[in-house]
Structure formats: structure tokens, C-alpha cells
Amino acid sequence: MKKIIRVWDLPIRLFHWLLVVCIAGSFVTINLGDEFIQWHAYFGYSILTLLIFRIIWGFVGSTHARFLSFIPRKQAIFDYLRGRSPHVLGHNPIGALSVFALLFVLSIQVFTGLFVDDEVSFQGPLANYVSGSISSFLSEIHEGNQVVILTLIAIHIAAILFYKKFKGEDLIKPMISGDKEIDPSEEAKYLPSDLGRASKDGVLQRGFALVLLSVIAVAVGYLITK
């Protein structure tokens, strides 16, 4: 019988899939014309809210959501590439690099978006607080950074397909159900301490996450409307 371990709590799973929807929505709306620019901004504000939540949850969330549980150390990366590292329940060292890279470039995107001013159809909520030259500079970064984001997303998707086809590991299912199924014959490939670190995902934790997300959403809403 397979061992079932809760890896991803509900807040992390919702964050992941809401982020997917918002990123897709932001790319679609920016290419539909000026009449959809406000919807592009709404998706951007939603991404900002989700990113702030994820960063905080990376310190106070469940076991495998915490950054300390998957900080990519150099030796761990080399060992993983050489096939010498044990299996992990959460993010492996390369996956951890991908997570931090995506959080970083998305943070740059939403930050610069707050200062964008195209002088035609949209002005970011903080554009009036900087000079025109700075706003223009940040707007260029905002536009150019799209390529970096798309590249990282493509790599992320390619890695999911690679693990599914060549390693027989489904990375999508655990992000939907929250659980990872481990065959008894595979348990020896994991550290015993890792197998004993299931993530908490109870009512109190979910309620706290909801309150936290609500507070962040109100703060972001205040920022963009004041």
C-alpha cells in the first residue's frame, strides 16, 4: 500500500492556481488592446496580492511551504544534478531555484507596473510619485521583463513534462490534491526525517491564511485607490 503524505497545504495550492490564472489573464488582456488595459491592471494587482501572501506564507506557513525547507544550496544542487541526493517531498534543489526565480521576476513585474505611465490609457497608482524619466525607465523594465517571465514559465512547464515522461513523477497531481503518494519500494530513497514531515493543513491554518490574504487584499486595494 502506498504511503500518502500531505505536502502542499490548501493555501499554497490555491495560491499556485490563482497565480496561473492571473498571469494568463494579464498576458491575454495586455494583447487585446487599450480597452482591456484596466483588466490587465486588475490582474497585476491580484498578482501583487498573491505574491505578498506567498512571501509571508514562506515564513509562517506549513512545513514544505516555508522557504527554509527548500533554500537551494550549492552542494545540494550539484549532488542533485549528479543523481546523488535523496528524494524530497517538496521542492528539489532545481525546483527551488525555479520557485525563487519566478517569485523574483514576478515581483519586479508588479513593482514596475505600479509606476507605469503610457500617457494614453493607463497610469500606475504610484506613477505620480516619480519623475517622468524614472517612470519611463521602469516601464521599459516592465515591458522587457515579460520575456523573462515567459521563458521561466516555459522552463517550468518543460520540467513538469520531463519528470512525467522520463522519471514517472507527476508534479501536477500533488498540487491539486495536496498529497504525495510514495510506493513502499521508494521509501528508502527519502530521508526518514523528510518522510515524517507532513504539512499541517487544518481548519485553523486555512482560516489564518484566509485572514492574512484578506488583510493583504485590503492593503493593496487601499494602495491603488488612495
The continuous run of DSSP H or E covering 6 comes out as strand 3-6
User: According to the model, what pLDDT value does residue 167 have?
Assistant: 82
> What pLDDT, on the 0 to 100 scale, is given for residue 192?
81
Burial of 96 from C-beta contacts in 10 A (0-12 / 13-18 / 19+): buried
Q: Is 114 a residue whose pLDDT tops 80?
A: yes
User: Which has more confidence, 2 or 52?
Assistant: 52
Question: What would the pLDDT profile of 75-110 be if each residue is shown by its tens digit?
Answer: 888 988 888 888 888 999 999 999 999 999 999 999
**Banded pLDDT at 211 (limits 50, 70, 90):** very high
**Cα 150 to Cα 93: distance, rounded to the nearest angstrom:** 21
Mean pLDDT of 38-53: 96
What are 185's three cell numbers? Answer: 519500494
CA distances from 15 to 27, 104, 121, 183 (A): 18, 16, 30, 28
Q: And the C-alpha cell for 86?
A: 535523496
Average of per-residue pLDDT across 198-225: 95
Res. 196 pLDDT band, cuts 50 70 90: confident
The pLDDT of residue 68 is: 93
The predicted structure's pLDDT at residue 226: 72
- The answer on pLDDT for 10 being more than 80 is yes
Beta strands per DSSP E along 52-198: 179-182
Question: 152-166 pLDDT, tens per residue?
Answer: 999 999 999 998 988
Q: How does residue 139 score in pLDDT terms, banded at 50, 70 and 90? A: very high
Domains and CATH numbers, the chain: 3-225 (1.20.950.20)
Amino acid type, 182: I
In whole numbers, what is the pLDDT of the chain averaged over residues?
A: 92
CA distance 49 to 187: 38
**pLDDT for the residue 222:** 92
By the 8 A CB rule, do 62 and 12 touch? Answer: yes
The pLDDT of residue 48 is above 90: yes
Dihedral, CA atoms, 48, 77, 72, 146, nearest 10 degrees?
A: -20
Please determine, for residue 14, whether its predicted confidence score (pLDDT) is greater than 80. yes
With a cut of 90, say whether residue 212 has pLDDT above it: yes
Distance between CA atoms of residues 100 and 96, nearest Å: 6
pLDDT per position as a tens digit, 19-43: 999 999 999 999 998 889 999 999 9
- Angle value at C-alpha 155, between 153 and 158, nearest 5 degrees: 110
